Amino acid sequence: MPVNPELLGREFPSTQPYLVGREKVREFARAVFADAPQHLDPEAARALGYADVVAPPTFAMVIQDLTLQQLLSEPDSGIALERTIHAKQSFRWSRPIVAGDELTGRLTVTGLRAMGSGAMVTSETEITAGGGDHVVTATSVLLIGGDE
């Protein structure tokens, strides 16, 4: 089944709130070799004006993944995970993610381009904090292979 062209413009419901934990930030920082003190030490982060440890920029993928799961599990999408490659990723920040943030994500399919029997699907996930304040917009491009 080809990618459903009606995905373009589709908005998905906001994810359940995700409470960013200090240890999750530290684990992620170690995994991506982000060894700056503000990622690991609350005192170092506070010295820079933050309430707690600061997540490395790509930590936003933890929240965005929750929204991409919605897209990938959509029954009429035509997207098969086994034919999907995460081709591109970008972020537009309002502020860093800090331990203690409660974040939600909301995905919108913003682009869909046929490529032979496959497609390129672009989505934007708006990640907001508890009060609705914008934190980051994460943009992903998925390359979907066609049926053989």
> Is the separation of the CB atoms in 113 and 106 below 8 Å?
no
pLDDT of residue 117: 85
Segments of the chain scoring below 70 in pLDDT: 1, 148
Instruction: Give the strands of the sheet with 118-129, arranged side by side.
Output: 18-19, 102-115, 118-129, 134-144, 84-93
pLDDT of residue 29: 98
> Is the separation of the CB atoms in 84 and 144 below 8 Å?
yes
- Reported pTM: 0.93
> HSE of 61 in the Cβ direction (CA atoms, 13 Å)?
12
pLDDT of residue 48: 98
pLDDT of residue 148: 62
